[in-house]
């Protein structure tokens, strides 16, 4: 028997490409229905006009995630209340690429889009670790010289290594800790500039995530996410 909890666990690995957060954590999954070997998932987004390519990517990734659950033979993903729901639901249902579903509108394929935002998420996660290490007394020169083996195990380190692996970057113990989105080490003399850039990327992601949570709460009458954390 397929349990909805297992489906939700698989969906937790699907991320909003711009926000680098799980669609389950963000509240984008409204329901999961299991009937025999078939699973139906309904999704919602913060606004009616969320970018079609971002929405398509999440819906397509959600279908792939559901089909990865043992026993699932059929996955139906339904995006609700979106200006392109029809095209997205039909395209994902027929296993079309974004370019097929939106002919003449796609400048880049979903793989290119996914990689762009994965790089941003990786840079932001790295900067978060750097800030924590600097607070603990490490210097920029220390960080520039660090190897992955020098990082202490933690949930944040695990996520960071997962992001590196997604990009195909070196995750061996001897690999440099601080690298750019292509895996090139950041020398000590360029570290401060790199960290400033990474901080801006992280702040942008955090700000957009907060905005999206607020918009989703307002749109669907949900508890204020900021008040819930107080």
* Domain definitions of the chain by residue range: 4-107, 111-217
Q: Distances in Å between the alpha carbon of 67 and those of 37, 45, 79, 141, 159?
A: 10, 22, 17, 46, 23
Residue-by-residue DSSP string for 17-70: TTTTEETTTTT-EEEEEEETTEEEEEE--SSTT--HHHHHHHHHHHHHHHHTST
Distance CA 200, CA 77 (A): 34
Per-residue confidence in pLDDT tens, the chain, 230 aa: 899 999 999 999 999 988 999 999 999 999 999 999 999 999 999 999 999 999 999 999 999 999 999 999 999 999 999 999 999 999 999 999 888 898 877 666 778 888 889 999 999 999 999 999 999 999 988 998 999 999 999 999 999 999 999 999 999 999 999 999 899 999 888 988 999 999 999 999 999 999 999 999 999 998 865 554 44
Q: What is the CATH number of domain 4-107?
A: 3.30.300.130
E-assigned strand segments in the chain:
15-16, 21-22, 29-35, 38-43, 74-79
DSSP summary character for residue 80 = -
**Do residues 17 and 54 touch, judged by C-beta distance below 8 A?**
yes
Residue 177 makes CB contacts below 8 A (sequence gap 6+) with 126, 143, 146, 147, 148, 150, 151
CA-based nearest residue to 220, from 16, 47, 75, 60: 47
């Amino acid at each position: 028997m397929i349990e909805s909890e297992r489906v939700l666990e698989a969906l937790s690995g699907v991320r909003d490409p711009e926000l680098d957060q799980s669609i389950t954590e963000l509240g984008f999954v409204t329901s999961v229905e299991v009937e025999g070997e078939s699973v139906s998932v309904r999704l919602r987004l913060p606004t009616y006009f969320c970018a079609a390519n971002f929405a398509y990517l999440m819906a397509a990734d959600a279908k792939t995630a559901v089909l990865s659950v043992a026993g699932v033979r059929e996955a139906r993903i339904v995006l609700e209340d979106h200006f392109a729901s029809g095209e997205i639901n039909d395209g994902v249902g027929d296993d079309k690429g974004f370019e097929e579903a939106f002919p003449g509108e796609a400048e880049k394929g979903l793989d290119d889009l996914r990689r762009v935002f994965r790089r941003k998420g990786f840079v932001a996660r790295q900067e978060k670790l750097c800030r924590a290490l600097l607070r603990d007394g490490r210097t920029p020169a220390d960080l520039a010289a660090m190897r992955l083996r020098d990082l202490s195990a933690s949930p944040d380190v695990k996520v960071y290594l997962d992001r590196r692996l997604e990009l195909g970057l070196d995750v061996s113990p001897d690999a440099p800790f601080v690298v750019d989105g292509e895996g090139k080490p950041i020398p000590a003399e360029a570290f401060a500039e790199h960290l400033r850039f990474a901080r801006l990327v992280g702040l942008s992601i955090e700000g957009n995530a907060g905005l999206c949570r607020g918009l989703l709460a307002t749109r669907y009458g949900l508890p204020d996410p900021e008040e819930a954390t107080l």
